[in-house]
C-alpha cells in the first residue's frame, strides 16, 4: 500500500521538475545558438504549420479544460498566433549580421538572450503558448513553459505538437520544454534558476511581480481595464459595433478588451439606443447591486467562476433576466475607484458606462479608469476629429491608443499596424521594462562592431603645438587698460592714418597684385596691427596675405567672423 503524499511533496516534485527542465534547456541552448538563419526559419515554419493544422482542436481543448471563453474565438486567436505572428516574424533577421550602418561603420550582430522561462495563463492558454514558442525559437532561445494549473493539458498538448514539428525540422533535443507538475513554488523555482536568462510572464499582478523579483530580466504584462471613448463626431453605429465586438470576443478574456465606455453627453441617448439594438442591456440600480454581489470579490477582483462566461450565464448567476439576445451587460456609473466596484477590469462581457459633458471631461475620465488598474496598457477613441484624437494620444497614460477599432483586436495587431503579439508591455506607467508589443527582437542581445571613424588625439601634444591660431580672450588687465576713452582715441588715430595714406596704399596694392603668390604668402609686417575691420580682411583675401594680430588688436565682429573663417589671422608671438 502506497504512502499518502505530504502537503509539501507536490511542490517538491514541481520544483525538481523546474530545475531539471531549466538544465535541459541550457544544454540545448548551446546547440540552438549555432544554427543558421535558414535552419531556424525551417524550424519556425514547421512549428507554425503544425499549430495551424491543430488550431481548432486546441481551441476546443482549451474551453473544455478551463471553462473559459468561446471555442470559435479561441480558434481565431490560435490562427492569429500561428499565421499572423508567424508571417510578421518570418522576414526578421535574427542570426549573425542583422544590420549594417555604412555611414557610421557599425555592424550589428544578433546574440540569443538564452533560456526563456515562459509563464502561460489559463485565459488564453493555447494561443499564448503558440506565440511564445514561435518567438523564442525565432530568436534561437531554448524555452521552458510553465502552464497555469487550470490549463496544463491544453498547453501540454500545444507544446507536444510544436516540439515534434521542431525536432523533425532540426531543432536540438531539449530546445522546447514544458512543466507538467505545476505549482506556484515550481514556477518561482523556474524563474529563479541560474540557467534561465529571461522571463516572459503573462498572468495576474502577483505573478508579474514575482517575475520581476526573480532577479532576471523579465517581460511582464499588467492588467488592462481599457476605456473606450466615443466622441461626439464618431460614427456611432460603427463605434458601438466595435466595442461590442471587442468585449464579446472570447467573452472578454484578453486583458486589452474594453471594460468601460465613456461617451459625450450630446450623443449619449443615441449611443445608448445603439447599444440596445446591438445586444447591450442596461441594468437598473437594483440589478447593478445584484451583479456587483456575485461578480466582484471582497478583494476587488472579478469572481474566477464568472471569468470568461457569457452575459446570459452571468445574468443567471446574479438573478437578472435580460432579453434572450443580450450580449453585453451595461452598468451606468458616476465614478471610478473602490466605491464603484464595477469600474475594475472585468474579464467578461460587462461594461461600465459613463456620460461626460465634453471631450475634456472624457479625457479626464479615461485617465481615472486607466489609473484604476490599467496604467500603460490600452484604450480606444472613436472619433472623426483628428485634433481630439491627437490630444488623446498626447495625454493618455496608455501605450496602445487604438482609433476607431476594438481595443481587443487593435492592441494585438489584428486590425491595426501594431506588431502582432500576445504580450503587451505597459512601460513605466505599468511597472514594465518596455511599452512594446513583444517580438523575437526582445529576446535578442545585439553585439556591435564599431570601426574608427574619428582618430583619437594623442595626449602627448605639446601646449605650444596645440595652441590655436586665433587670439586668446583678453586678460582682465588688458580689458582694464582699454577703457572707453582710450579705445575711441586709438580708433580715431588709426582711421586718420588710413585716410592720409589712401593714395599711396592704392599704388602699393596695384603693384602687390602683380607679385607671385609665393612672394605674397611670405610677406608680413614685423609687428601686429592695432585695428582690423571687414574691409581689411577682404583686402587680405584678395592679395592672399595674412594679418598679424595680438591680444591688443581691435577686431570688428564682421572682421573676426570673416578672418577666422578663412584663416587670415596669425597670432603674434614675440
Q: What's the CA gap between 239 and 245, in Å, rounded?
A: 10
CA dihedral sign, ordered 535, 541, 544, 549: positive
DSSP code per residue over 299-367: TS-B-GGGTT--HHHHHHHHT----TT--EEEEE-S--BTTBGGGS--SSSEEEEEEESSHHHHHHHHH
Looking at residue 450, what DSSP letter applies?
A: E
For residues 385 and 410, the answer to whether their CB atoms sit within 8 Å is no
Q: What's the CA gap between 438 and 425, in Å, rounded?
A: 7
For residues 270 and 239, the answer to whether their CB atoms sit within 8 Å is no
Q: What's the CA gap between 414 and 506, in Å, rounded?
A: 81
For residues 381 and 396, the answer to whether their CB atoms sit within 8 Å is no
For residues 422 and 250, the answer to whether their CB atoms sit within 8 Å is no
Q: What's the CA gap between 459 and 162, in Å, rounded?
A: 60
Residue 102 makes CB contacts below 8 A (sequence gap 6+) with none
For residues 229 and 366, the answer to whether their CB atoms sit within 8 Å is yes
Q: What's the CA gap between 329 and 313, in Å, rounded?
A: 11
Give the residue among 315, 320, 280, 255 at the shortest CA–CA distance from 122.
Answer: 255
Residues, the chain, total? 574
255 classed as catalytic: yes
Give the residue among 219, 84, 202 at the shortest CA–CA distance from 145.
Answer: 202
Residue 383 makes CB contacts below 8 A (sequence gap 6+) with 229, 230, 231, 233, 234, 389, 403, 404
For residues 502 and 523, the answer to whether their CB atoms sit within 8 Å is no
Q: What's the CA gap between 225 and 345, in Å, rounded?
A: 4
Residue 43 makes CB contacts below 8 A (sequence gap 6+) with 35, 137, 166, 169, 170, 171
Helix, strand or coil for residue 512? helix
> Among the options 154, 255, 363, 426, which is catalytic?
255
Q: Which residues are catalytic?
A: 255
Amino acid at each position: 500500500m502506497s504512502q499518502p503524499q505530504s502537503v509539501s511533496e507536490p511542490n517538491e516534485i514541481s520544483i525538481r521538475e523546474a530545475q531539471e527542465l531549466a538544465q535541459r534547456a541550457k544544454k540545448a541552448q548551446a546547440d540552438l545558438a549555432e544554427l543558421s538563419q535558414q535552419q531556424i526559419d525551417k524550424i519556425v515554419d514547421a512549428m507554425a504549420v503544425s499549430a495551424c493544422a491543430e488550431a481548432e482542436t486546441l481551441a476546443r481543448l482549451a474551453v473544455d479544460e478551463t471553462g473559459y471563453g468561446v471555442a470559435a474565438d479561441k480558434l481565431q486567436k490560435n490562427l492569429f498566433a500561428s499565421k499572423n505572428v508567424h508571417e510578421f516574424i518570418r522576414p526578421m533577421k535574427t542570426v549573425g549580421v542583422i544590420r549594417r550602418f555604412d555611414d557610421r561603420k557599425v555592424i550589428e550582430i544578433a546574440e540569443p538572450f538564452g533560456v526563456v522561462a515562459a509563464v502561460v495563463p489559463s485565459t488564453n492558454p493555447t494561443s499564448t503558448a503558440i506565440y511564445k514558442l514561435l518567438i523564442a525559437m525565432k530568436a534561437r532561445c531554448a524555452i521552458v513553459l510553465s502552464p497555469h494549473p487550470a490549463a496544463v493539458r491544453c498547453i501540454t498538448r500545444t507544446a507536444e505538437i510544436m516540439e515534434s514539428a521542431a525536432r523533425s525540422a532540426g531543432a536540438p533535443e531539449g530546445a522546447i520544454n514544458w512543466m507538467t507538475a505545476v505549482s506556484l513554488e515550481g514556477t518561482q523555482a523556474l524563474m529563479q534558476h541560474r540557467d534561465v536568462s529571461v522571463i516572459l510572464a503573462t498572468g495576474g499582478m502577483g505573478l508579474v511581480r514575482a517575475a520581476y523579483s526573480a532577479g532576471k530580466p523579465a517581460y511582464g504584462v499588467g492588467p488592462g481595464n481599457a476605456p473606450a471613448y466615443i466622441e461626439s463626431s464618431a460614427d456611432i453605429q460603427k463605434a458601438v459595433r466595435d466595442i461590442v465586438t471587442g468585449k464579446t470576443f472570447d467573452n472578454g478574456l484578453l486583458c486589452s478588451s474594453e471594460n468601460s465606455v465613456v461617451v459625450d453627453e450630446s450623443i449619449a441617448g443615441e449611443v445608448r439606443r445603439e447599444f440596445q439594438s446591438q445586444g447591450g442591456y442596461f441594468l437598473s440600480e437594483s440589478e447593478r447591486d445584484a451583479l456587483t454581489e456575485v461578480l466582484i470579490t471582497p478583494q476587488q477582483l472579478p469572481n474566477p467562476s464568472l471569468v470568461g462566461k457569457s452575459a446570459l450565464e452571468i445574468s443567471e448567476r446574479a438573478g437578472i433576466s435580460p432579453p434572450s439576445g443580450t450580449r453585453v451587460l451595461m452598468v451606468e456609473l458616476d465614478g471610478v475607484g473602490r466605491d464603484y466596484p464595477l469600474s475594475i477590469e472585468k474579464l467578461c462581457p460587462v461594461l461600465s458606462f459613463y456620460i461626460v459633458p465634453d471631450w475634456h471631461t472624457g479625457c479626464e475620465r479615461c485617465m481615472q479608469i486607466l489609473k484604476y488598474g490599467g496604467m500603460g496598457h490600452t484604450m480606444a477613441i472613436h472619433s472623426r476629429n483628428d485634433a481630439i484624437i491627437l490630444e488623446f494620444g498626447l495625454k493618455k497614460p496608455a501605450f496602445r491608443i487604438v482609433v476607431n477599432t476594438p481595443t481587443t483586436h487593435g492592441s494585438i495587431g489584428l486590425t491595426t499596424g501594431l506588431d502582432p503579439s500576445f504580450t503587451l508591455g505597459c512601460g513605466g506607467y505599468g511597472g514594465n521594462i518596455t511599452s512594446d508589443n513583444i517580438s523575437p527582437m526582445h529576446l535578442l542581445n545585439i553585439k556591435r562592431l564599431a570601426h574608427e571613424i574619428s582618430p583619437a588625439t594623442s595626449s602627448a601634444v605639446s601646449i605650444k603645438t596645440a595652441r590655436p591660431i586665433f587670439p586668446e580672450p583678453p586678460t582682465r588687465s588688458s580689458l582694464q587698460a582699454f577703457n572707453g576713452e582710450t579705445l575711441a582715441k586709438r580708433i580715431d588715430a588709426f582711421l586718420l592714418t588710413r585716410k592720409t595714406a589712401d593714395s599711396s596704399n592704392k599704388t602699393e596694392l596695384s603693384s602687390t597684385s602683380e607679385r607671385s603668390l609665393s612672394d605674397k604668402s611670405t610677406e608680413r609686417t614685423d609687428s601686429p596691427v592695432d585695428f582690423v575691420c571687414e574691409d581689411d580682411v577682404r583686402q587680405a583675401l584678395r592679395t592672399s596675405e595674412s594679418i598679424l594680430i595680438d591680444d591688443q588688436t581691435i577686431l570688428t565682429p564682421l572682421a573676426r567672423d570673416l578672418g577666422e573663417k578663412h584663416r587670415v589671422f596669425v597670432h603674434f608671438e614675440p
